[in-house]
Structure 1
Amino acid sequence: MRSSTGVKGLLPLACLATSVLGGNILSTSGFSQCMEGGTVQVKNLDVSYDKDSRVLTFDVAGTSDKVQNVTAELVVTAYGKIVYTKDFSPCDTGMPQMCPVPAASFASQGNQTIPENYASQIPAIAFSIPDLDGLVKMQLKDADTGENVACVESTVGNGQTLQTPIISYVAVGMAAAALLLSGLAGIAAGGHPGASSPSPTFGEVIGWFQGLAMNGMMSVQYPQVYRSFTANFAFSTGLVPWGQLQTGIDNFRARTGGNLTSDSYEYLKNNATLVYSDGSGNTTTSGKLVRRALETVLLWTRDGTSVTVNGTSANIGEDSGSSSNTTSSGNTRENHLVSGIQGYVEQLQIPSSNTFLTVLLVFAIICGAIIVVILLFKVILEAWSMFGNIPKSMESWRKRYWWRLAKALTNLILLLYGTWTLYCIFQFTSGDSWAAKILAGVTLGLFTAVLAFFSWRIYTKAHQYKQLEGDASKLYEDKDTWVKYNLFYENYKKGYWWLFVPVIVYMFAKGCVIAGANGHGLVQTAGQLIVEAVMLIVLLWARPFQRRSGNWINIFIQVVRVISVVCILIFVEELGISQTTKTITGIILIVVQCILTGLLAILLVVNALINCIRENPHRKARKAAEKNKLERDLDDLTPLDARNSLLMEPMAQRPGVPGPPPYSDRKGRYDPVPRDHSPALGSERSLSRPPRFGREDDGARLVSDAASMGRRNDRSVSRSPDRQPTLPDVYGRAH
């Protein structure tokens, strides 16, 4: 027996990914033929091992084309390395019915006890580590010629996996928290033009989760632990496992040209065992399965074994003389070979041909919920306005709720556009329902048209503002424009308002590369690496976000995306990298992505605390602007300014008010300034001479007198000797 030291060296790394309380059972999960044209065909293979009782339970069945003596070679691999091998003959294990193998159907089942010295060699962590990565393979050879006559291999698992609802619930909670904080930030801004949301925003969190999900959709040789990890984020792309929904979609497909034989919810649930290929389309040779097992020892002893040939059974062991008509229970589940997008969605029990329709119905449900919530809020505001005074900000919302509704739906389209492109193209290439293909084409064209329309409108507005004012700052300063279109560029600096267009192109390109090159892992990975690297270069060059935190967070997210694609390149079958390296890379990738996800969660908590503690920055900015405006207004007051106190109150004496203002007569009137005197010279005549009104030129004199006030006497005399500046008799004109 070979040592398992190499496998034990990988176990501490695997523990970094997660800590899962496992059971004490190791069992096979399906099987596949690793040889074509063999004279012996295995029809069933079901083996399980209980750690507590050290009992191995097996159920094997098959057929043979001719009578022949065979020997068997059992090979157990873990993470691509052979950890156990054993050669034996059915004749040496006390099964005379199988020595030689008859030209008939045969089956063997029973319970066998593994000796303690062998059972102790199985690491305890093998029963708790999630998504074991190993393989058990048995080859039957002709005892006389040594030629292979059969080959079968199977995966082993302990029931533990990283595809767990807990991770999905945590991710959903993060997305909900980001949505709530983004909404509160918008309400706090009060529609203030130019106000940006703190990072991470709802769109950034959902975009990160979508990236994790799309990383698991490429046609490469993933370690099973990483495939299971990425499945937890399928909700962000619109994939929600729902049995009744899938049954309804199956019925729709059946009426519109779909084939449900091996592509339906019932088939996946009851009859199929998923076996992942390497993504190249060749799934008939050994060594191209993604699922592996960690370590187990299949030992043949003589305890309680039952062998059946053509329905006649005999118990092998100490009491081998007894017989019965026991047959193999049989495993009715078939091996279903999958890869790429199909493998990703079908592990969620969503048939590949149902993928687009599932996303479409989930999208329709979300749209319906948004419409109901907005209309309900509209009804509440209408009732509020009937029985009281609603705030000014809510009044604006009440009057423009249709636009708010359209904006919310457009935002949803923008969030899903990349994955929507992926699913539509996948439906075009792999779907079987003509109706689903038509819906995919119509919706993709509609979504693209909506985004193109808004892009054109924003560009048109920016072009108009540039012509009038030299730049596009009005996109941020004009409230009406801001309320309509800010969802596309609100977090960008004024000079980079246009960056939302490259972002839309980036999302479209990602969906096209993954779906268009489905089945070609190297092409997918290379294309994704180019797309992600170009976006990283754009972010590093422009640093377009208004907030410094937004720049750093988005650049960090993009760096991790590029690193993720580089790691996925290691999983490509054509590069021939060892399984051990792939598994270690997968675990490291999980750790890195979990760290970034945790940092995003911490930042969400920090943003929530900041919003609760400090004063709203938008309100503070508005107060400062109002204060500065008031100070400027007080500095530039003139005697004729409408804000001047002389024009705000009559100057005549009234009951209860002290005497007339200084430098006026008893009626509060002022004397005109004489031509040869000015107030600056202190002439008493200029302050005591009463004004004269009633002539036709009173209005002209009033304007000319006011215009000459404050000028030096010598200049006013020299330039216009006939001008006599006077102060306006406001009180007299009023009477």
Structure 2
Amino acid sequence: MRSFFRAPLALLAMTASLLSPADAERMLLSNSLNLCQQDSTLQASLFNVVYTPSNNSASINMVATSSVQGKVSFDIEASAYGYTFLRQTVDPCDIGLRGLCPMVSGKIAFGFNLPVSASAASQIPGIAYHVPDLDATVKVRVNLTGTGESVACVEADISNGKTVNLVGVKWATAVIAGLALVSSAIINGLGHSNAAAHVAANSLSLFGYFQAQAIIGLTGIRLPPIVQAWTQDFQWSMGIIRVGFMQTIFTWYQRATGGTPSTIFDSLTTVSVQLEKRGLQVAEAGLSLIKRGVAMMPKPAVQLLKRGNVMTGSGSYVVFGIQRVAFKAGIESTNLFMTGLVFFWIFALIVAGAVAAFKGFLEILAKRGIMKNDRFLEFRNGWITVLKGILFRVCLIGFPQMTILCLWEFTQRDSAAEVVLAVFFFFGPLITLAWGASKVIRIARRSISMHRNPAYILFSDPQALNKWGFLYVQFRASAYYFIIPVLFYTLIKSMFIALAQRSGVTQAISLIIIEVGFLIAASVLRPWMDKSTNSFNIAIGVINFLNAIFLFIFTNVFDAPLLVVGVVGVVLFILNAAFCVILLFMVIFSTGFSLIRKNPDARYQFMSDDRASFMKSQSQLNATTELDALAATARGDKLGYKSGFDLDDNESMSSSDVRKHNEASGSYSVSATNSQNSFYPNGQGQANAAIPLYPAPQRGPSPLRESAPNPIASGVSLAQQRTANTASPASGYRSQHNASPWQRGAGYDH
């Protein structure tokens, strides 16, 4: 029986060396023997072969069962990237293999070294030892000599030990994306809001592109080895990171909550794990073998099968889609959900701690006189609001990750407690982001109603900007609503990835429709803040659409030559690798210039929505009345700004109610054309360029508070207030050191 395997394995090892001249460190190896025929009579639960051309030998370790009896011949076929370069028929009787002429059935476990002749090695093409993640296979068919019937078929994937799945790539991409996000916050704290907005928008788009690359690997589609390895480089963006002690904790937690953890990695010495190669054809072949014996399986094995860990009749596993990513990351598939969830919250806690520590560090520097008191003043005074906005941004970044993993957990049901966590962490971020998006739309509509410009309140109120700005600051003011399509795009895409794991064709077609729809919307609406940012994001949309087309080609529903599929896999890797490098350099350069230039805002053209005109810094707050009037004129304030208007507490107030409230309170306006900057009561002077001076509630006594009290708060009748205002126009003036009208109602007085 042992000699039964020697003929095919010899050619397997010989063919494995098909890829290059001899070199000291070169090798070709395979770790699994996959079924390529239903009802195959040859089943291998463990298969390991390593060919080293330096000593012309192949080391083989195998556990297999055969039910073939009689005289047989072996048809051996070897291919690389779909191109078949070797076909050969071997008769075990001609080469004197004992036990194979004729064959007898039985189960065998053995390991041996098989010599490989120089003539066999000479047939190997010259690409195998140098191309990473080699897509090469050797297929062996066992045919009965008398009838020619094929009774068994096995297939082995060949690798040369080189891969693009590198730890250095993961760290480099993660560090660059993280530093870009941190740099945008620092630049904004230094008062360069325009540059910070551009850096933040580009870094978020870059992070989104990394997640799109990771999602390709999560699909249940047969992916060429080089695509699997490339997409594995970006799984960190989905929280799929292996830490040994954490995996032990997750396994314990699952057992403690009534689940049954998978034990694939504990069985690798006796069981092979097959990475799905042709959609689910291999998995279905394995399933056809175990339908007859599933009732005899132990309960844990049946539970693993129901959760998607397909076990063949010989005891080996087939992993695909999300489970394939987990296996390649060294994570048990039943621990994947908890891994992604915990890393999401670790990231959120680290960010919150860093913001709090930075605030404390700045206060220490300011107290000791090392730093000027006006540096990072806005952040120091409103850091709680800033922290809320940053945590909301973290929620937006982790939305694709949590959506996919939580929806996938619904199909796996690893334990009751994990399902509860999945429900909470799916609907929690979804409701939070939906609420934030609706909040932005309400604020923008109120701004349009009051000021005929959505940017007015969206960018003039620091509380709205710091808390909800992550949802709209990357878009132009008139496209404030585009966060809704972005969230919907992410949700629908995640649903197809998580819930259609067993239908690669469905995933490929849905991704094409989703990506082309998003690309058309982005190209037509061009919602981002300026031309360069639009180009940046539209380019990412084009690449994502091309990747969706490549995924459809990988399904091979049109039965195209396998060479086409292999070449497309290499094209996907080259295209995305080149594009990724370009994006990384763009983000590095833009971030670096923004940090080292004295005035980084000058590098960027100011947005056409005039958002910069509505943004205020703390340095403007002590300006005189004349400067306030000039600022109002420069901003083109035509309808006035309702001071003391709290967006959170007065959401039910309509714009007409606000105008009536202003009129009732005797608000004053400043003429945009009067050279003396005189103040006039409402109804006098230039009403179209008015800044209402109705004061917001303030801490401590204020001369303005005493001279122009709120008629609603104080109970003074409207008629009395108008009479007082008409009799004493000078009472509308504010003190030199009173809060500027730009402070009131924008969160500065709280």
TM superposition shift of 1:555: 1.0
C-alpha distance in 1, partners of 2:342/2:502? 26
Partner of 1:374: 355
Using a 3 Å threshold, how does the CA distance of structure 1 residues 22 and 209 change in structure 2: closer, same or farther? Answer: farther
Cα deviations by residue, 1:92-134 (Å, 9 ceiling, x for unpaired): 2233344333454456764444333332222343122211212
Residue in 1 that maps onto 2:400: 418
Q: Which residue among 429, 451, 458 is the counterpart of 1:447?
A: 429
Q: Is the 8 A contact 1:193 1:482 kept in 2?
A: no
Question: How has the CA–CA distance of structure 1 residues 403 and 505 changed in structure 2, closer, same or farther, with 3 Å as cutoff?
Answer: same
Change (3 A) 1:374 1:142: same
1:184 equivalent in structure 2: 186
Describe the shift of the 1:202–1:523 C-alpha distance in structure 2 as closer, same or farther (beyond 3 A): same
Please tell me whether the aligned partners of residues 29 and 49 of structure 2 are also in contact (alpha carbons under 8 angstroms).
Answer: yes
Structure 1: how far apart are the matches of 2:426 and 2:363? 36
SS where residue 85 of structure 1 aligns?
A: strand
Q: Is the 8 A contact 2:257 2:417 kept in 1?
A: yes
| Contact preservation (8 Å) 1:75, 1:136 | yes
In structure 2, the partner of 1:96 is 98
Q: What SS does the aligned partner of 2:102 have?
A: coil
Counterpart residue number, 1:617: 601
Q: Distance in 1 between matches of 2:107 and 2:512?
A: 52
Equivalent position to 1:434, from 412, 416, 419: 416
| Alignment size in residue pairs | 584
Distance 1:194 1:232 in 2: 30
Name the residue aligned to 1:490.
473
User: Which residue identity does 2:420 align to in structure 1?
Assistant: I
Shift of 1:235: 0.6
Alignment match, 1:15: none
What is the deviation of 1:637? 4.7
- Corresponding residue for residue 274 of structure 2: 274
Matching residue's letter, 1:615: N
Q: Distance in 2 between matches of 1:447 and 1:39?
A: 51
Residue 578 of structure 1 corresponds to which residue in structure 2? 561
Task: Output aligned runs, 1:542-581, within 5 Å.
Answer: 542-581=525-564
Q: Which residue of 2 aligns with 1:345?
A: 326
**Alignment check: 8 A CA contact 2:242 2:330 kept:** yes
| In 1: Cα distance, 2:549 partner to 2:481 partner | 29
Are the counterparts in 2 of residues 22 and 129 from structure 1 also a CA contact under 8 Å?
Answer: no
Deviation sequence 1:565-608 (CA, Å, 0-9, x none)? 11211111423222211111111111111121111122123314
Deviations 1:27-79 (A, max 9, x none): 22211334455555556544332212222334556455575333322222222
Given that residues 268 and 351 in structure 1 are in contact (C-alpha distance below 8 angstroms), is that contact kept between their aligned partners in structure 2? Answer: no
Partner of 2:488: 505
- Distance change (3 Å), C-alpha of 1:65 and 1:503: closer
Among candidates 459, 465, 478, match of residue 447 of structure 2: 465
2:34/2:282 contact within 8 Å kept? no
Report the AA paired with residue 245 of structure 1: M
Q: In 2, are the aligned partners of 1:273 and 1:334 still within 8 Å (CA)?
A: no
Q: 1:165 aligns with which of 160, 164, 167?
A: 167
Q: Does the residue aligned with 1:189 lie in a helix, a strand or coil?
A: coil
Output the CA distance in 2 between the equivalents of 1:48 and 1:544. 54
Cα distance in 2 for partners of 1:540, 1:569 equals 23
Compute the displacement of 1:196 (Å). 2.9
Return the offset for 1:417.
Answer: 0.9
Query: Alpha carbons of 1:199 and 1:555: their partners in 2 closer, same or farther (altered >3 Å)?
Result: farther
Alpha-carbon distance, 1:519 to partner: 1.4
SS at match of 1:250: helix
> Any idea what SS the aligned residue of 1:86 has?
strand
The CA distance in 2 between the partners of 1:339 and 1:152, in whole Å, is 19
Alignment match, 1:252: 253
In the other structure, the counterpart of 1:298 is: none
So what's the TM-score if we normalise by structure 1?
A: 0.72
The CA distance in 2 between the partners of 1:270 and 1:87, in whole Å, is 30
Change (3 A) 1:42 1:69: farther
Name 1:687's counterpart in structure 2: none
C-alpha deviation, 1:251, in angstroms: 1.5
- In 2: Cα distance, 1:94 partner to 1:558 partner: 60
**Does the CA contact (< 8 Å) of 1:345 and 1:351 recur in 2?**
yes
Cα offset, 1:87, TM superposition: 2.2
Return closer, same or farther for 1:271/1:145 CA change in 2, 3 Å cut-off: closer
What secondary structure is seen at the aligned counterpart in 1 of 2:316?
A: strand
Q: Which residue in 2 is equivalent to 1:404?
A: 386
1:218 match:
219
Measured at CA, do residues 562 and 44 of structure 1 come closer, stay the same or move farther in structure 2, by a change above 3 Å?
closer
State the secondary structure of the residue aligned to 1:450. Answer: helix
The CA distance in 2 between the partners of 1:537 and 1:64, in whole Å, is 55
Whether the 8 Å contact between 2:199 and 2:591 is mirrored in structure 1 is: no
Write the letter of the residue equivalent to 1:518: Q
The amino acid that maps onto 1:339 is F
2:59 aligned with 1:77, yes or no? no
Q: Which residue of 2 aligns with 1:529?
A: 512
Whether the 8 Å CA contact 1:188–1:618 is kept in 2: the answer is no
What's 1:292 paired with? Answer: none
TM-score, length-scaled by structure 2: 0.70
TM-aligned CA distance change 1:180 to 1:106, over 3 Å: closer
**Any residues of structure 2 matched to 1:33-44 within 5 Å, and which?**
33-37=35-39, 41-42=43-44
Secondary structure of residue in 1 paired with 2:221: coil
Pair 1:584–1:22, CA change in 2 (3 A):
farther
Give 2:501's aligned residue. Answer: 518
- In structure 2, give the amino acid aligned to 1:351: E
CA distance in 2, matches of 1:56, 1:399: 70
For the residues of structure 2 that align with 1:269 and 1:62, how far apart are their CA atoms?
A: 14
Larger radius of gyration: 1
- 2:419 and 2:367 map into 1 onto residues whose CA distance is 49
Conserved 8 A contact 2:522-2:538 = yes
Amino acid at match of 1:133: D
CA distance in structure 2 between the aligned counterparts of 1:546 and 1:22, rounded to whole angstroms: 55
User: Does the CA-based 8 Å contact 1:221-1:573 persist in structure 2?
Assistant: no
Helix, strand or coil for the counterpart of 1:279? coil
1:423 partner amino acid: L
Q: Structure 1 residue 221: deviation in Å?
A: 2.1
Alignment-derived partner of residue 698 in structure 2: none
Distance 1:254 1:603 in 2: 47
> Given the alignment, which residue of 590, 597, 615 partners 1:607?
590
Paired amino acid for 2:337: F
Q: Could you tell me how far apart the structure 1 residues matched to 2:68 and 2:240 are?
A: 49
CA distance in 1, matches of 2:172, 2:186: 21
Counterpart code for 2:71: N
How far the C-alpha of 1:481 sits from its partner, in A, is 2.7
Q: Alpha-carbon deviation of 1:468?
A: 1.9
Residue number in structure 2 paired with 1:28: 30
* 1:364 is the counterpart of 2:345: yes
CA separation in 1, counterparts of 2:315 and 2:480?
A: 54
Q: Which amino acid is 1:214 matched to?
A: I
> How far apart are the structure 2 equivalents of 1:484 and 1:540?
28
More relative contact order in 1 or in 2 (CA 8 Å, sep 6+)?
Answer: 1
CA distance in 1, matches of 2:164, 2:678: 78
Aligned match of 1:57:
59
Deviation by residue 1:220-244 (Cα, 9 ceiling, x = unmatched): 2211111111110001111112222
Matched residue type, 1:371: A
C-alpha separation in 2, matches of 1:76 and 1:519: 28
Q: Is the 8 A contact 1:571 1:577 kept in 2?
A: no
Does structure 2 retain, via aligned residues, the 8 Å contact 1:30–1:334?
no
3-state secondary structure, aligned to 2:197: coil
Looking at structure 1, the residues matched to 434 and 672 of structure 2 have their Cα atoms a distance apart, in angstroms, of: 48
